[in-house]
Amino acid sequence: MFDAFMLPGVPFVLFWVFVGAAIIIQGISKSGFAGGAGILSLPLMMLVMPVELVPAVLLPLLILCDANAIYHHRMNCDWKHAMAIFVPSCVGILLGAAAWWYMGENGIGSWEAPLKRFVGVIAILFAIHIAIKEYALAWFERLKPGPVMAIGLGVSAGFTSTIAHAAGPIVSLYMFGQGMPKSLFVGTVAWTFTLINLTKLPFYIGVGLIDPGVLGFGAVLIPLIPIGSWLGHWMHHRIPESAFNRVILVLTLLAALQLLLNFNLVLWTLERVL
């Protein structure tokens, strides 16, 4: 039924294990536990799915996660700082949408390897961010980025989010640098991503990334989000977040290196074992 979403040679069970794990990890990340874990979802899915379908499938699911987040933090938002990132992010979203349109017009297949490498580089940078997170947060808190830096960060956030849903560190570092209380910080980040993701949606539809088939496949994955959210809350009181982040860091690096080298270790291993 969903053969178009599977890379050739990927076993049925392995496909659902990777995709299911990716969506559950998103749910864990959106629960507030290990907020950076969601970066693993994109490279994990790209190992078993066509590269252009992964961001398309994830976007409606991310919007659902955003809706849940702003429901709980609907009154917690510093609109000045949310707009400081969101307004310039619209430029980055336009650039990202133009890139998707250009790749589609010239045959998305010929851009598969560059797209994988781009996502691989972003994932490696994110893994580095996880490793030095405390230092990075302290540095940004001292820096206190202002309006000028917000423009550059916003454009970068819009572009990386449109291509790879990977603007988390950019937005979080900027917001952290503003010295907001925790609840206001969480709410402002949630509202910022809600605005960015909703703005991306019509462009994804316009360039042909999202169609009824993508929505149908995404609908099947929706129940995995609350499962991930429940796991996140469960792990919050039982597993040190730093230990979980180290596991995510290693897995992200492994997946990212495979994308960067355009080499699928999973399929390579299966070909020799089976």
Distance CA 45, CA 23 (A): 9
**Helices of type H across the chain:** 12-30, 41-46, 53-72, 79-105, 112-131, 133-143, 147-164, 168-176, 182-206, 212-221, 224-236, 241-260, 265-273
Residue given tokens 């979203």 in the structure block = 93
Domains held by the chain: number: 1
| pLDDT single digits (tens) 156-205 | 999 999 998 888 878 888 888 888 887 888 889 889 999 999 999 999 99
CA dist., res. 18 & res. 230, Å (int): 19
Range of the domain at 64: 3-273
Q: Do 154 and 86 form a contact (C-beta atoms < 8 A)?
A: yes
pLDDT attached to residue 271 = 66
Of 115, 116, 71, 124, nearest to 96 (Cα)?
Answer: 115
Sole residue written with tokens 């994830």? 58
- Confidence band of 274 (pLDDT split at 50, 70, 90): low
42 in Cβ contact with 196 (< 8 Å): no
Question: What span, in angstroms and rounded, lies between the C-alpha atoms of 41 and 55?
Answer: 10
Q: Which of 53, 62, 67, 175 is nearest to 115 (CA)?
A: 53
Q: List, for residues 240-263, the tens digit of each pLDDT value.
A: 877 777 788 788 888 888 888 877
- The pLDDT tens digits for 3-41 are 889 988 888 888 999 999 999 988 888 776 666 677 788
Say what percent of the chain tops pLDDT 90: 38
Among candidate residues 92, 78, 233, 241, the one with its CA nearest the CA of residue 152: 92
DSSP state of 9: T
